[in-house]
């Protein structure tokens, strides 16, 4: 099996391509298609063949899941509160909700948001008053979200901590006690996210588009990437020698084996190349199918391979490096 030589991290660059025209052919030129000749359909790969991919992906995890990863990722924000489990959990959830778009803009936006709380999110939450504090967020705008969305968010999080003391307790309470429902096994992850989201927004008769976007619901079919990323941060017991990234604060809600890969644009791009799933949409089912391959490789901790696909794609490395190992 071939090994993959480490590549020096590179800064992300714009993927937009300009169009070109000539006098003879006044049409837009098309970019060259990526090499897909060795990308199999899932049915063409046996479990043994997928298992052959494990050493390659494990090497990429060791390469990319290192402390310096934190310095360029939104996870750096909850790391500022790592000494206080409650503040770390609270800041991680808010950071994850707003983790859509460019990473630098996410970091700037959430950092400014916490500056409004004087970098004391727990203290701000405990003393939050909607009418009094709404003015703090009156000029807040980040893509789909505006100040009123933040007022509702803080108000509902205040309720959650008052009633359950932690977000983990709320999530755990959202999972049915029985292992089966109507004769079918209960998907603890999916029902937990759905119940958690319903509890936070349950008394909002007409939530804004921004609120509905923040609280993606698995019953709508989407992959709930940001919530699954938050769960990766909270649940993974990050003990690899390459360095700690995920916090592992949640000890009872879920096990790492139950997590689902956060289906961001980088993972979706790599899936189109490797064909871990035949699906190419950003759906919950696609995330499940990708994760099912990862569970073959590492049943106890499948989503650690999120680091491999994310880092590999972000560095714009050729998929042939992986495909040639089959």
Residue at 20 is within a domain: no
Query: Facing residues of 180 across strands?
Result: 185
Mean pLDDT of the chain: 86
The pLDDT tens digits for 204-246 are 777 889 999 999 999 999 999 999 999 999 999 887 656 789 9
Q: What is the pLDDT of residue 67?
A: 87
Residue at 32 is within a domain: no
The pLDDT tens digits for 254-265 are 999 999 999 999
Residue at 272 is within a domain: yes
DSSP for 162-178 reads HHHSSHHHHHHHTS-SS
**Average of pLDDT values for 190-202?**
93
The pLDDT tens digits for 76-134 are 999 999 999 999 999 999 999 999 999 999 999 999 999 999 999 999 999 999 999 99
Task: From 108, 52, 47, select the one nearest 76 (Cα to Cα).
Answer: 108
Give how many domains the chain has, as a whole number: 1
Indicate the pTM of the whole model.
Answer: 0.84
Q: Are strands 180-181 and 184-185 parallel, antiparallel or unpaired?
A: antiparallel
Phi, psi for residue 183 in degrees, rounded to 5 = 80, -5
Residue at 28 is within a domain: no
The pLDDT tens digits for 148-170 are 999 999 999 999 999 999 999 99
The backbone region for 99, taken as left when phi is positive above 0, alpha when psi lies in -120 to 50, beta otherwise, is: beta
Q: What is the pLDDT of residue 243?
A: 75
Segment (H or E) for 4: none
Distance CA 188, CA 234 (A): 16
Return the percentage of the chain with pLDDT > 70, whole number: 84
Q: What is the pLDDT of residue 204?
A: 72
Q: Which residue range is the domain that position 101 belongs to?
A: 42-323
Residue at 14 is within a domain: no
Residue at 19 is within a domain: no
Residue at 4 is within a domain: no
**Average of pLDDT values for 278-283?**
93
Do residues 63 and 304 touch, judged by C-beta distance below 8 A? no
- The label of the residue with tokens 């009094």 reads 132
Residue at 313 is within a domain: yes
């Amino acid at each position: 099996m071939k090994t993959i030589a480490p590549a020096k991290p590179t800064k992300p660059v714009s993927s937009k391509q300009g169009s070109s025209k000539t006098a003879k052919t006044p049409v837009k030129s098309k970019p060259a298609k990526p090499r897909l000749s060795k990308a199999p359909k899932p049915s063409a790969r046996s479990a043994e063949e997928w298992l052959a991919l494990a050493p390659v992906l494990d090497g990429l995890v060791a390469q990319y899941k290192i402390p310096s990863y934190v310095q360029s990722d939104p996870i750096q924000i909850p790391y500022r509160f790592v000494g206080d489990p409650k503040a770390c959990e609270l800041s991680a959830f808010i950071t994850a909700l707003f983790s859509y778009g460019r990473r630098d803009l996410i970091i700037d936006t959430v950092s400014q948001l916490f500056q409004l709380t004087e970098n004391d999110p727990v203290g701000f939450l405990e003393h939050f008053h909607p009418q009094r504090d709404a003015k703090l967020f009156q000029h807040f705008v980040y893509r789909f979200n505006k100040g009123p969305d933040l007022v509702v968010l803080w108000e509902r999080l205040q309720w959650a901590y008052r009633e359950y003391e932690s977000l983990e307790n709320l999530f755990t309470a959202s999972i049915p006690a029985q292992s089966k429902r109507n004769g079918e096994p209960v998907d603890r992850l999916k029902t937990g996210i759905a119940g958690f989201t319903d509890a936070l927004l349950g008394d909002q008769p007409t939530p804004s588009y921004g609120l509905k976007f923040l609280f993606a619901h698995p019953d709508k079919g989407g992959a709930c990437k940001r919530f699954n990323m938050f769960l990766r941060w909270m649940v993974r017991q990050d003990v690899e020698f390459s360095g700690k990234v995920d916090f592992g604060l949640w000890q009872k809600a879920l096990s790492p084996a139950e997590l689902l890969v956060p289906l961001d644009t980088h993972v979706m791009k790599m899936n189109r190349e490797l064909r871990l799933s035949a699906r190419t949409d950003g759906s919950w089912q696609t995330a499940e199918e990708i994760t099912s391959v990862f569970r073959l490789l590492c049943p106890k901790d499948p989503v650690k391979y999120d680091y491999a696909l994310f880092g590999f794609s972000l560095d714009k490395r050729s998929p042939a490096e992986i495909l040639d190992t089959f």
